[in-house]
């Protein structure tokens, strides 16, 4: 594998929560032309600081993914296309970007997305080391190796998994649990013929992208109706997350935790309450942690101003329930890879004696 800055050792004093102020897109107000709140990631961190869960020194600073990092999954042809402003305008669905010089587009639009992508790759390694990790950004699940769309310019989920397969011993199977309101056609296209990756996807069947080809990659498909509410939704999530993890015990779970399922979201078309979202995340973390499977969470879509508060409330709830915990995270005590090594050492010592 190529030399990368994304797999550096992180001090044990840090929580496996990855973020950088560079995630937030602010560009002469143009970001307001898309329904996405392009500053929501910073707001999540501010809420967590207000609640005294985090201080800056505990956060893992995300690094920008380099071209060599991106080439682990992306074709050079696709990365070259991003040097055309009209291509980026199409992917981000912000038409005026078309008229801007590409050096500005690179700095103000694509650099934040590359930094979030680097954050997801870093969080993948942290999850395996510490048992869990959260990238406060990322979740660009409409981007595949050679095509972007739906505000997704880089395939961070595919990249995080491919990096782990290439670089971390003992990681050879992954499960993606995609609970954004939209079908995750990007990672599905990337892993369509890869038996090492199990995909569960629950989404509104009537909205973007409706990618029939990509659906062939989904091992556990949960197609939802317009206006699905908490009771039915949470029952389906519980049943299918448990079912997915019983069917195949992975070495890592990548959880795409989109908040565009929230009632009133202009693009999601579902009707889940804020409490329902908090409960959903709890269900997924409980299922992974009870099986001692490392879990990486990314935040993905969510097109209302109140989603930042809900993401923060969910992280606080996971902490209050002991599903994410600094002591466990920094000791490696719940890390199955660490346990495996310790068992092996004990066995070797027993044989020697």
16 vs 122, 128, 291, CA distance in Å? 9, 10, 19
Residue 204's nearest CA partner among 229, 222, 178 is 222
- Which residues sit opposite 177 in a β-bridge? 200, 255
Tell me the torsion sign for CA atoms 208, 301, 190, 226: negative
Q: How many CB atoms lie within 10 A of CB 194?
A: 15
Please, which residues have CB within 8 angstroms of residue 34's CB and are 6 or more apart in sequence?
92, 93, 94, 151
Residue 180 preceded by cis peptide, ω within 30: no
The rounded distance, in Å, linking the Cα atoms of 230 and 260 is 14
Query: Per the structure block, which two tokens stand in for 236?
Result: 């389906």
Question: What is residue 43's three-state secondary structure?
Answer: helix
Q: Give the C-alpha distances (Å, rounded to integers) separating 324 from 70, 121, 199.
A: 29, 19, 24
Helices (runs of H) and strands (runs of E) counted in the chain: 14, 8
**Taking a C-beta distance cutoff of 8 angstroms, is the pair 123, 65 a contact?**
no
| DSSP-H helix ranges across 168-201 | 185-190
Strands (DSSP E) contained in 142-189 are: 174-178
The one-character DSSP state at 9 is P
Which residue blocks in 175-273 are alpha helix, DSSP H?
A: 185-190, 212-215, 230-247
Which among 14, 74, 141, 142 is annotated as catalytic?
142
From residue 80, give the alpha-carbon distance in Å to each of 10, 12, 101, 109, 157: 32, 38, 15, 16, 21
Please indicate whether residue 319 is annotated as part of the active site.
no
Catalytically active residues, by annotation: 142
């Amino acid at each position: 594998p190529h030399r990368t800055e994304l797999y550096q050792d992180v001090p044990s004093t840090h929580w496996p929560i990855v973020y950088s102020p560079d995630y937030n897109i602010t560009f002469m107000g143009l970001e307001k032309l898309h329904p996405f709140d392009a500053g929501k990631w910073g707001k999540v961190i501010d809420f967590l600081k207000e609640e005294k869960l985090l201080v800056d020194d505990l956060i893992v600073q995300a690094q920008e993914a380099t071209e060599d990092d991106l080439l682990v999954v992306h074709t050079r042809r696709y990365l070259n296309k991003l040097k055309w402003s009209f291509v980026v305008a199409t992917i981000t669905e912000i038409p005026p970007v078309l008229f801007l010089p590409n050096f500005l587009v690179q700095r103000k639009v694509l650099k934040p997305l590359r930094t979030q992508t680097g954050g997801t790759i870093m969080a993948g390694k942290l999850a395996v080391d510490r048992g869990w990790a959260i990238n406060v950004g990322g979740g660009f699940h409409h981007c595949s190796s050679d095509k972007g769309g739906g505000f997704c310019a880089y395939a961070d989920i595919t990249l995080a998994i491919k990096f782990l397969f290439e670089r971390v011993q003992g990681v050879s199977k992954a499960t993606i649990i995609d609970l954004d309101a939209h079908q995750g056609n990007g990672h599905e296209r990337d892993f369509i013929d890869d038996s090492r990756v199990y995909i569960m996807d629950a989404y509104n069947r009537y909205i973007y992208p409706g990618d029939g080809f990509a659906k062939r990659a989904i091992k556990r498909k949960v197609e939802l109706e317009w206006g699905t509410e908490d009771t039915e939704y949470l029952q389906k999530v519980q049943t299918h997350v448990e079912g997915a993890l019983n069917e195949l015990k992975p070495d890592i779970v990548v959880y795409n935790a989109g908040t565009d399922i929230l009632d009133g979201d202009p693009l999601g078309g579902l009707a889940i309450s804020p409490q329902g979202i908090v409960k959903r995340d709890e269900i997924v973390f409980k299922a992974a942690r009870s099986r001692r499977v490392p879990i990486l969470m990314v935040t993905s879509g969510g097109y209302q101003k109140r989603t930042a508060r809900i993401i923060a409330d969910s992280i606080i709830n996971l902490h209050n329930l002991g599903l994410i915990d600094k002591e466990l995270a920094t000791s490696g005590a719940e890390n199955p890879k660490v346990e495996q090594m310790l068992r092996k050492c004990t066995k070797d010592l027993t044989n020697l004696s």
